[in-house]
Structure formats: structure tokens, C-alpha cells
Amino acid sequence: MVTSAGCAAKIFPYILNDALKDIKWFQDENVMVGFSGNDDAGVYKLTDELVLIQTTDFFTPVVDDPYTYGMIAATNSLSDVYAMGGKPLNALNIVAFPQKEDISILKEILAGGADKAREAKCSIIGGHSVDITNILYGLAVTGTAHPKDIKGNDTAKAGDVLILTKGLGTGVLNNSVKYGKPEKSYVDGLIDSMCRLNRSAAELMVKYNANACTDVTGFGLAGHSMQMAKASKVALHFSVKDLPVLEGAMWAIKEKQLTRGDKSNRIYTQDFVINKGTIDTEKEHLIYDPQTSGGLLISVEETKAESLLREIRDNGDGISSIVGYVTEVNEDNKSGSIVFNF
């Protein structure tokens, strides 16, 4: 019922940047996180001990089942609050639906979102809807945190270790559901990943006082790690062989189930990506694949990394892996560089 699916439907990042620049945005002295660093959510200080975290996220269906789609969209929306180190408090539904279609489909979408919000202990208190051809669903979420617990994308430190909490490959696997014939186990694993809240990993990274975090969604691992590297004025280094990968993702790549986001994310990051070693062109697609409801990329002190990883795995994110490290910039790695070691 839609022309493009999930986070692959995002406006190309370089086009979006052109639209946003040169606009005079008003921000008062209580804005702690705004547009400047391309962070996951906005942060607004209320008191010395309380901040609001605000975000909105919505997209087109990635699966045929409306209830499952609602769960995935809500999980993805809540993720931005978790990525900042916060706890979701309440949310508003964002709905676009052709009202000439069966309204029971919309009811199932909303029910899926409601159940995920309930799991997150996040109250849905209203929303807004429009009647248009393409279906959209998501949430505008408000969360809270103590100011010292905020995990932006601009505070990664040289010497940190990088942890990724979900497997890559949702873009190509979602395309394979639409255009190919994936095995049932591939689809089940894909849906399980997209419906899994990042709540536990977020709580644990706060417990271990991680330095920085971002969630990996539509701009792919390359795009979101580039944003972190640029905002933090560091270089990020990844071991491609250590990247967690969803079952079936490599099959989907071999079947050429690539999204339009693969190309746009390459363009977006082309001035900052450095590949080392013999490039595996199939695995390279994982770096640029737009993720829907992806995992957290956490930058944490090396001495804490193994303990944090162990607890993240023990609490349900078993695919989580240490995937790289952070360095200062030098003559080979300018600020914002992301180095992929094949």
C-alpha cells in the first residue's frame, strides 16, 4: 500500500541538510541539545535535576501485518529517547491513513503501537491524523532524565570502545520480504529485532556512565557514526568482521535486495569514510543499509566495555558486540572520519 518502506523512505540526508540550513531557529538558554549536532532528540532543561527529551519519528509500513507494523513504528520512535539516556514518559500518535480503506487496519496499527508503549510504560495521551494515500505511523515522544545522564552524540572520547546492540541488515531484509522469498526464520528474526525495545541497553549504558550514544536508523551505520565522529571531533574505527548481522541479511544482499538508502547514505558519508584492507563489496552494503528500529551505538571507556557488553547480552540483546574504538584525529583521520577495517 506504499511506495517505499520504513526508514528507507526518509528524505535523503544531503537534501534535508540543504532544507535546514540558513534558517534562524529560536532557541532559548534552556536548550541543551538542538539541531547543531544531528543528535537523536532535543533536550530541554527544566531544572538542575530534570530535563525533557523530545523526539518524533514515523514511517511507512515495513511489514504486511498492521499490528506488527504498529509495534515496530512505536519501538523505533521510543528508541530516540533511549539513545539519549532517558526514559519515555508520554507520547502522541502520528497517523496518516487513506480513510477509504478498511479502518480495522488502522485500529490494528494503533493497537500495536499502544502495546509497545505499554511495555515501555509510556502513556499515549493523544495524537493527530490526516487522510492521505500513503500510510504513516509513529509517535511524538517526551522523555525525562537527569542532566548528568544525557548521552549525546558529541561526547565520544579517544580511547573509548564502541558497542553495537542490534544486528545490521533490516533494510535489505525488509526489501526481501517485499520483493523476494526469504526463509521464515529470516523474517522472524527481523521482526523480533525491530520490535525489541532499546530500554535495557539504555538503562545499562547510564549505569556504566557511557560517554556517548546514538541509535542506528535510516542513515545507516556509516551515517550515524559519521554524525557522532563529527560532533565529538574524533575518528571512529570499526572492525567489519565484528559487526553483528541479522540472519539472512547476507542472503538478501546476494539477492540484490538493496534499498535506495544504500546509495544516498554512500553519498552522504563519502567525504568521511575510509576503507582499509581488501573491501568485501557484499559486507560493505551493511555499512550503508538504512536500519529500521536499529540498535544503539554506545561509546564507553575501555575499562567498562566488557562488563557493559556482558550485562547487555544477559538482558536480552544477545547479538550485541564490541565493534570498534575511538581515536583522536590526525593527519590521516580528520574530524568526523569513520574507518572501516575489512
In this predicted structure, the answer to whether residue 3 has a pLDDT above a threshold of 70 is: no
* Cα gap 81→150, rounded to integer Å: 10
Angle at 237 between CA 236 and CA 239, to 5 degrees: 145
Question: What is the pLDDT confidence band of residue 67, given thresholds at 50, 70 and 90?
Answer: very high
The overall average pLDDT reported for the chain is: 94
Buried b (16+ CB within 10 A) or exposed e, 187-200: bebbbebbbbbbbb
The full 3-state SS of the chain, as one line of letters, equals CCCCCEHHHCCCHHHHHHHHCCCCCCCCCCEEECCCCCCCCEEEEEECCEEEEEEEEEEECCCCCHHHHHHHHHHHHHHHHHHCCCEEEEEEEEEECCCCCCHHHHHHHHHHHHHHHHHCCCEEEEEEEECCCCCEEEEEEEEEECHHHCCCCCCCCCCCEEEECCCECHHHHHHHHHHCCCCHHHHHHHHHHHHCCCHHHHHHHHHCCCCEEEECCCCHHHHHHHHHHHHHCCEEEEEHHHCCECCCHHHHHHCCCCCHHHHHHHHHHCCCEEEECCCCHHHHHHHHCCCCCCCEEEEECHHHHHHHHHHHHHCCCCCCEEEEEEECCCCCCCCCCEEEEC
Active-site residue among 7, 122, 195, 213? 7
Written as one letter, the residue type at 290 is P
**Stretch 312-325: mean pLDDT:** 97
Q: What is the pLDDT of residues 82-138, one digit of tens each?
A: 999 999 999 999 999 999 999 999 999 999 999 999 999 999 999 999 999 889 999
Q: Is-catalytic flag, 122? A: no
Q: What are phi and psi of 251, to 5 degrees?
A: -60, -45
In sequence order, which residues have a C-beta less than 8 Å from that of residue 118 and are 6 or more positions away?
none
CATH number of 7-149: 3.30.1330.10
Strand 321-327 vs strand 161-164: parallel, antiparallel, or unpaired?
antiparallel
Under CATH, what is the fold of the domain 161-341? Phosphoribosyl-aminoimidazole Synthetase; Chain A, domain 2 (3.90.650)
By percentage, how much of the chain surpasses pLDDT 90? 85
Backbone angles phi, psi at 30, to 5 degrees: -90, -5
pLDDT, tens digit (0-9, with 9 covering 90-100), for 275-313: 999 999 999 999 999 999 999 999 999 999 999 999 999
Q: What is the pTM of this model?
A: 0.93
Model pLDDT, residue 181:
93
Q: What are the residue ranges spanned by the domains of the chain? A: 7-149, 161-341
- The answer on pLDDT for 332 being more than 80 is no
pLDDT at residue 7 greater than cutoff 60: no
What angle (nearest 5°) sits at the alpha carbon of residue 153, between those of residues 173 and 336?
85
Say if residues 61 and 69 touch (Cβ distance below 8 Å).
yes
Give per-residue pLDDT as tens, 156-176: 999 999 999 999 999 999 999
Q: How confident is the model at residue 8 (pLDDT cuts 50, 70, 90)?
A: low
